[in-house]
Structure 1
Amino acid sequence: MDTLKNTDRFYLSDGGLETWMVFEEGFDLPCFSAAVLLDTAEGRAALTAYFERFIALARDSGRGFVMDTPTWRCGAAWAAPLGLGLHETLAINGRATAFMAAIRDRHETAQLPILLNGLVGPAGDAYAPDVALGPDEACLVHTPQVRALAAAGVDMISAMTLTHAGEAAGIAQAAAEIDLPVVISFTLETDGRLPSGEPLDEAIAEVDAWTGAAPLHYMINCAHPDHFRDVVANPAPWLDRIGGVRANASRMSHAELDASEVLDDGDPVELGALHGDLLRLLPNLRIIGGCCGTDHRHVGCIAGHAHRRRAA
């Protein structure tokens, strides 16, 4: 994964896949799992169109693209809620990887590197630590999905929207055991802390200590920049470990988002401008994209500000 260590190359990611499919495309996603889109021709076409918009942004702006498999809620812990067996759930991870690999193969060039990212989500609620796992337990829970994605050919694993350090360490360990690059992304509340109450710097330090600094880097996702800008405002060595941000367009709290029946897509132009500060504050930031409520408009605005900041 030397490409992710090259700070001269920026990578874009997509936006809020699940919120786009529910609110803009009208799909029903049981357990908010985008993996069900693979089951129909309509769903597969929507996935293709969705990702090709972001691939075009990356190509036109001279960046690489980190392309997620739609497997955020397709781990062992979600088999029963989805009405599936473990074997069937793991097979879906393989199908998802093959589907996304075909999209990559149609678009990747020397000027447009595309990293196939095996996406892993928390075993419980992404907005609240209803399931608190220690590192060893989390490793057991997540190892089947991590290994299924690895066997299917992903380039890396990213664990997104994690609520506490213990689960993050277990996922990182599961990937490290098979020498698969792994990125850990925490979600933050409006006070800039993890839903567990842990400060971000302490959570990163704990995971690095438990795993021998196994993650390539850390990310922040599913939080508006206003929620965490003060947390990263003062220079400190731990900020070097943050390599990506996928922010929400909405300033709502997680509780408010969970209860909302309409999509708050915020202001794409404003969100892009706010990333100018983040690029200044986070020296190793090299993956940028969106999360809940964002789409290609938001990521395009973010990419534009990133281009101007880097050029300056």
Structure 2
Amino acid sequence: MSKYRNRLPQLTGQTFITDGGMETSLIFHEGIELPHFASFVLLASPDGRRKLKHYYRPYLDIARQHGTGFVLDTATWRASADWGNKLGYSPEALRAANETAVDLVAELRAEFEGPQRPIVISGAIGPRGDGYKAGPMDASEAEDYHAEQIATFAGTEADMVSAVTLNNIDEAIGVARAAKAHGIPSAIAFTVETDGRLVTGRSIQDAIETTDSASGGAPAYYMINCAHPKHFEAALDHRSSWVKRIWGIRANASAMSHAELDESETLDAGDPIDLGNRYRRLLARMPHIRVLGGCCGTDHRHVAAICEACLPPQGATA
């Protein structure tokens, strides 16, 4: 059923983009209420599905304009068992929501994909707990917890799964192992604090090397997400081998700390042009990076600015 599961095109040299901060865009720009920050609840109604497609389309238009591929994440960051239970979803209803999320983006892929613009469907996985606070969970527990959602994605058109906003290395190991067991590629995205370290105090290097060691190198690649570039730029030694495992950046628009963002009642959209320039400087040091997108506070303006800063004009040679 999957189109690219056996050969992810973002691993073959072409630059891909992805979307921005789905939940912050829906809440602050569209005025949509998302209980527990869960966008998957919109899948339950025709109007909600229409709103999700309205959210995705500007990003897909940007990819078409720049002639680039796209990693199309499902609206399922909160669609795992603990969050589903808080929202009143039975296991069967939660499974159906994850399947519907894939069906929705598959429709968009059919609409927007072109011969030189592959669109990879990624089942989005979020942390079991709060993405900004570490929770106690060992790797085996994490594998058991995330296996259900991953198994659902493995039975759909999803080409891969992306676990984003992870701050617990054991949780990353569990996701990577579960994805490997179900035969679907995974990307692991860690989030860091303003000091460039996970909230536990462990470094990005430690997170990547430990996850690789404990999972047999299972993740297809790693990303950094939900932090501003100024928080992690200095932590990335481009000469080190572990940095070559980072293939994606999905930064926040705001340079505020996670604690400050948690307490803010307004959206800090930052400066899209500055963000694009920071991506360009990162790519100059780390030209192997292939997936560019945004996270909290970013929208299509930020992704457009990243493309303008980092991608050659269509028709030009790199």
TM-score, normalised to structure 1's length?
A: 0.96
Matched residue, 1:119: 124
Helix, strand or coil at the partner of 1:152: coil
Count of residue pairs brought into register by the alignment:
310
8 Å CA contact 2:237–2:243 kept in 1: the answer is no
Q: Distance in 1 between matches of 2:299 and 2:94?
A: 27
Matched residue, 1:177: 181
Helix, strand or coil at the partner of 2:155: helix
Q: In the alignment, is residue 4 of structure 1 matched against residue 16 of structure 2?
A: no
For 1:62, the aligned partner's letter is: G
Matched residue, 2:164: 160
1:214 to 213, 218, 223: 218
Q: In the alignment, is residue 278 of structure 1 matched against residue 275 of structure 2?
A: no
Matched residue, 1:190: 194
Q: CA deviation at 1:245?
A: 0.2
Helix, strand or coil at the partner of 1:125: coil
8 Å CA contact 2:150–2:161 kept in 1: the answer is yes
Q: In the alignment, is residue 62 of structure 1 matched against residue 67 of structure 2?
A: yes
In structure 2, the CA distance between the partners of 1:308 and 1:233, relative to structure 1 (3 Å rule), is farther
Q: Distance in 1 between matches of 2:287 and 2:68?
A: 18
8 Å CA contact 2:250–2:295 kept in 1: the answer is yes
Q: Distance in 2 between matches of 1:12 and 1:276?
A: 14
Matched residue, 2:4: none
Q: Which runs of 5+ in 1 are unaligned?
A: none
Q: Please report the RMSD computed on the Cα atoms of aligned residues, expressed in angstroms.
A: 1.4
TM-score, normalised to structure 2's length?
A: 0.95
Q: CA deviation at 1:311?
A: 5.7
Matched residue, 1:238: 242
Helix, strand or coil at the partner of 1:198: coil
After superposition, residues 134-153 of structure 1 pair within 5 angstroms as 134-153=138-157
For 2:309, the aligned partner's letter is: H
Q: Distance in 2 between matches of 1:235 and 1:197?
A: 23
Q: Which consecutive segments of 4 or more residues in structure 1 shift more than 4 A?
A: 308-312
8 Å CA contact 1:240–1:283 kept in 2: the answer is no
Q: Distance in 2 between matches of 1:272 and 1:298?
A: 7
Q: Distance in 1 between matches of 2:224 and 2:239?
A: 17
Q: Which runs of 5+ in 2 are unaligned?
A: 1-6
1:98 to 84, 99, 103: 103
Q: Distance in 1 between matches of 2:274 and 2:51?
A: 27
Q: CA deviation at 1:308?
A: 4.4
Q: Distance in 2 between matches of 1:229 and 1:93?
A: 34
8 Å CA contact 2:8–2:159 kept in 1: the answer is no
